[in-house]
């Protein structure tokens, strides 16, 4: 399925939408500007006077007028396992192994049993084996140091983590707006390079 990145008029990502959703913004003159190439052309009805068929060219990124739902400074992307595992590049934070989604877990650095919260800064991807071995202990208590630090993704990164089959031009547009802390903009990210203790 083609996903269109919807922005507000200032360029803040708002949603992944379908080409049909995007077409309704074009049809109501709510598109302020676009980025990227035309990725789909939708054809509508025929004009009774001219006989011409209406046609809407939908671009990969569409900035729409109207109220913003997501602002730059107060939005933290919602936490999900799928996004967490992608943030951590499908890598276990304790053994450094690469795993598929079915073999990774959401690991609380400070265990919830010890008051740890369920947010981006207290979770990492961990394989089932490491998660079981660490159990309800902190990294220090378990003598299992983290191989990399957790971080809260920006709005732009949140959309990158949530998107599926993101087109190259949309991917590049989002990547160019990520902070330097992001693992997406740090190609030299290697497990074990940054030993990190809470
Ligand atoms: Zn592991």
| CATH number of the domain enclosing 86 | 1.10.30
Give mean pLDDT in consecutive 10-residue pieces for the chain, a chain of 198 residues. Answer: 91 93 93 93 81 88 87 79 95 96 97 96 97 96 94 91 89 87 66 44
For helices 168-175 and 155-162, the axis angle rounded to 10 degrees is 150
35 & 94 share domain? no
Give the pLDDT of residue 120: 96
87 lies in some domain: yes
21 & 102 share domain? no
181 lies in some domain: yes
How remote is the CA of residue 93 from the centroid of ligand 1, in Å?
7
36 lies in some domain: yes
Residue 22 phi/psi, 5-degree rounding, is -60, -40
How remote is the CA of residue 189 from the centroid of ligand 1, in Å?
17
Strands 13-17 and 4-7: antiparallel
Give the span between the Cα atoms of 101 and 126, in whole angstroms.
10
How remote is the CA of residue 179 from the centroid of ligand 1, in Å?
27
* Residue the block writes with tokens 């074990």: 192
How remote is the CA of residue 143 from the centroid of ligand 1, in Å?
14
What does the pLDDT look like over 80-117, one tens digit per residue?
999 999 999 999 999 999 999 999 999 999 999 999 99
Q: Which domain holds residue 92?
A: 81-185
How remote is the CA of residue 135 from the centroid of ligand 1, in Å?
13
How remote is the CA of residue 94 from the centroid of ligand 1, in Å?
5
Give the pLDDT of residue 190: 55
Which H helix or E strand runs over 105? strand 104-108
197 lies in some domain: no
85 & 162 share domain? yes
The count of domains in the chain is 2
190 lies in some domain: no
52 & 88 share domain? no
130 & 176 share domain? yes
Give the span between the Cα atoms of 23 and 146, in whole angstroms.
46
Q: How far is CA 17 from CA 3, 25, 46, in A?
A: 6, 11, 26
What protein residues have CB closer than 5 angstroms to ion ligand 1? 92, 94-95, 127, 130
Between CA 163 and CA 116, with CA 92 as vertex, the angle to 5 degrees is 90
How remote is the CA of residue 72 from the centroid of ligand 1, in Å?
34
12 & 85 share domain? no
Which H helix or E strand runs over 60? strand 53-64
110 & 44 share domain? no
Strands 123-127 and 104-108: antiparallel
* Residue the block writes with tokens 């001219």: 50
Give the pLDDT of residue 179: 76
């Amino acid at each position: 399925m083609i996903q269109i990145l919807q922005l507000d008029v200032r360029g803040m990502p708002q949603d992944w939408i379908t080409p049909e959703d995007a077409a309704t913004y074009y049809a109501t003159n709510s598109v302020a500007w676009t980025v990227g190439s035309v990725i789909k052309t939708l054809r509508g009805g025929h004009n009774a006077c001219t006989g011409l068929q209406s046609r809407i060219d939908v671009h990969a990124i569409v900035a729409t007028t109207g109220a913003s739902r997501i602002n730059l400074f107060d939005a933290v992307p919602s936490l999900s396992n799928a996004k967490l595992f992608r943030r951590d590049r499908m890598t276990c934070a304790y053994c450094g192994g690469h795993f598929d989604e079915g073999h990774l877990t959401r690991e609380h650095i400070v265990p919830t049993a010890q008051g740890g919260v369920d947010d981006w800064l207290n979770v990492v991807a961990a394989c089932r084996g490491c998660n079981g071995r660490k159990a309800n202990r902190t990294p220090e208590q378990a003598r299992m140091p983290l191989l990399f630090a957790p971080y809260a993704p920006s709005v732009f990164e949140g959309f990158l983590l949530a998107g599926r089959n993101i087109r190259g031009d949309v991917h590049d547009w989002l990547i160019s707006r990520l902070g330097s802390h992001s693992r997406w903009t740090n190609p030299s990210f290697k497990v074990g390079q940054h030993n990190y203790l809470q």
